[in-house]
Structure 1
Amino acid sequence: MDFCIVDWGAISSIAAALIASFTAIYIYFQWRNQKGAEVIANEAKQNIQDILEIIKIVSLIRQKSSALERSRNFIDFNRLYESVVRSSLYIDDCVEIKDFKKAIDEFFNCCLKFKEFESLYRDYAQDSKFIAHVDSEINLIQIRGFNIVNTLIPYSIYQKKFKFRKK
């Protein structure tokens, strides 16, 4: 008769090694997701700040009477617009946010229309129809901008769970 002898010392060592390995893998994936969420949250915070600054600048452009001040504000607007485009596209590429792509496209279109006013402002700054058109674009930028800000706030303060896109 053959007896099966089990070496429980060896089995417990192997089990401990397996548990430690699985725990390390689990912690790694949790850390990776957390770090990814931190990167996106920081990007969202910066995007929110830039969009709010754009909203402030377009209001200042409308209020300023000096051509020099208006020119400086347009330069700031263009710089911030480029930053918002890069940041928004990065966020959209990394994380799935419902209707975010549509919201940023609408905001970008409004900003592009507003950028066209820079060259026209010199000649039409006193034209009431032109100013009414500028005001309507400013209102659209504000509405679209606040829409994006309200979408990003929960992500910037970790209130919503991040759903990362598969690459």
Structure 2
Amino acid sequence: MNQRVIKSLVLILLVGMFSFFAYSLIGKAKHTDVGDKAYNFELPNYNGGKTKLTDYKGQIVILNYFATWCAPCKDEAPELEAFQKDYGDKYKLLMVNKGETKDNVKNATNNNKAGMNYLFDYNADNAKIYNVTGQPETFVIDKKGIIKVHYNGPITEGQLYNWVKQYDN
């Protein structure tokens, strides 16, 4: 009888472990980070259309996740605007707002006077795939579509330029 109980417990333990591992594999969402191919997204943009990451195939792309209420995001905004002005023709800077309305962004940016490329991740689904845990967070994607940099916190124009220049080969 003891062997029967032990065998039953071992069987239950094995089934439980298998179920746990199967659930963890199935339950894993798509995630991407440094060294991975960047997830191709399609998000609404500031002008009312849609923007896909593949629209910039073969180019260096910078994704910057931000929120209008985020103090560090406000601090880095002039640096990103300067980068856009100085290098925006060569390097594509996409400002991804996480979970806010277009009206919030319009108000916070004085109707986009700087001419930034704003995208809207209303449900933060794209942010989850990119493992965005806060804001601001910046990603640099090389010409082959590989994520080379994932940086948490505010950045400067010079810092961003040094990153993109490093992968512009």
Question: Normalising by structure 1, what TM-score?
Answer: 0.32
Higher strand proportion, which one? Answer: 2
Name the structure where helix makes up a greater proportion of residues: 1
